[in-house]
């Protein structure tokens, strides 16, 4: 196992974690961005399974959030305001009237302090950052640590830890776009996904939660026994139409079952299993991905990747009964998501 480091752009550094199976995970200290994940297919061929820019400089804007850490709040905050402890906080609007993924200066734009590490059976990278009180409008100073750990079982673990000086709102995620075909050989229509979720959060035309939970039964949102993503792309269901012919929805995990998402791509034989202690996940199928961007293996296009954004729900700021994003002062935030790669 080893770690390679290279200086890429100014104070940006790229760290590549390599295990004994030749799996590689490349991470920038800028935005905590995962730029590549190299894993074998069923024939042992090593290929990249995430979307990344060809030119490292293109991550400076990264309006699609390729591979980035997202925060302070992943997702959309309606009208860029929220109430907490009888006070109203106003955030920067960066998607119409709304606040998306921590705003224009969110964690995806931060140069994190990075420390690589190695143990007998893991290699990893620890990222730390302090977000100041009222930064981007959020209350409380927030100290954060994100740790990426790769082991010899082809598991990439992402640990999120934080502590705030005031009551605040907070839910982080990673925004990698996965494509298990390898080197972007095909789009994600034939990705077969299983999600233990009975309800999704209904969205309005601006992709803001309506406050309703939609039962997935007899809809293209029922992934409990697995289905192909293309079913949602071709669907006439109003919620698929709202998401521009695909998925951009928060799936609330069934708390009576293990929070385990399984993604398979038959042609390559690759399988991705996602385990988390988060209460749910946004699945986004790149329905609104900018086209023609120069990527490591070609140009961007709709449906080229699928994001699995494990997190709590910003809908809880306006509506009761949704997984809360409240973080009380001095209470540790400890969340974990594990991405395991193998073959069918």
Q: Which residues form the catalytic set?
A: 175, 309
User: Which H, E and C letters describe the chain, residue by residue?
Assistant: CEEEEEEEECCEEEEEEECCCCCEEEEECECCCEEEEEEECCCCCEEECECCECCHHHHHCCCCCCCCEECCECCEEHHHEEEECCEEEECCCCECCEEECCCCCCHHHCECEEEEEECCCEEEEEEEEEECCCHHHCCCCEEEEEEEEEECCCEEEEEEEEEECCCEECECEECCEECCCCCCCCCHHHEEEECCEEEEEEECCCCCEEEEEEECCCCCCCCCCCEECHHHHCCCCHHHHHCCCCCEEEEEECCCCCCEEEEEECCCCEEEEEEECCCEEEEECCCCCCCCCEECCEECCCCCCEEEEEECCHHHHCCCCCCCCEECCCCCEEEEEEEEEEEC
């Amino acid at each position: 196992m080893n770690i390679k480091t290279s200086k890429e752009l100014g104070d940006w550094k790229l760290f590549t974690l390599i295990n004994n199976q030749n799996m590689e995970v490349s991470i920038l200290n800028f935005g905590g961005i995962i730029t590549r994940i190299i894993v074998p297919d069923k024939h042992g061929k090593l290929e990249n399974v995430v979307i990344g820019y060809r030119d490292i400089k293109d991550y400076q804007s990264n309006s699609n959030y390729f591979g980035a850490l997202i925060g302070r709040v992943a997702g959309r905050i309606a009208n860029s305001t929220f109430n907490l402890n009888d006070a109203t906080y106003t955030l920067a609007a960066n998607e119409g009237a709304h606040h998306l993924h921590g705003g224009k200066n969110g964690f995806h734009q931060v140069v994190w302090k990075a420390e690589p590490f190695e143990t007998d059976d893991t290699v990893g990278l620890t990222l730390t950052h302090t977000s100041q009180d009222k930064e981007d409008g959020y209350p409380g100073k927030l100290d954060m640590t994100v740790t990426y750990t790769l082991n010899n079982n082809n598991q990439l673990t992402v640990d999120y830890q934080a502590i705030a000086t005031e009551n605040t709102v907070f839910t982080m995620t990673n925004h990698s776009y996965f494509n298990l075909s390898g080197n972007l050989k095909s789009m994600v229509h034939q990705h077969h996904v299983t999600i233990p979720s009975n309800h999704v959060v209904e969205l309005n035309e601006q992709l803001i939660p309506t406050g309703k939970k939609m039962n997935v039964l007899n809809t293209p949102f029922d992934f409990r026994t697995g289905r192909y993503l293309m079913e949602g792309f071709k669907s006439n269901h109003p919620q698929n139409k709202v998401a521009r012919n695909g998925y951009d929805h928060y799936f609330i995990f069934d708390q009576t079952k293990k929070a385990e998402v399984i993604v398979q791509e038959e042609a390559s034989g690759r399988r991705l299993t996602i385990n988390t202690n988060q209460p749910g996940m946004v699945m986004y199928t790149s329905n609104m991905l900018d086209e023609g961007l120069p990527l490591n293996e070609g140009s961007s296009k709709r449906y080229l990747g699928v994001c699995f954004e494990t997190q709590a729900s910003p809908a809880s700021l306006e509506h009761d009964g949704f997984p809360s994003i409240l973080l009380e002062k001095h209470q540790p935030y400890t969340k974990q998501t594990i991405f395991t790669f193998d073959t069918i």
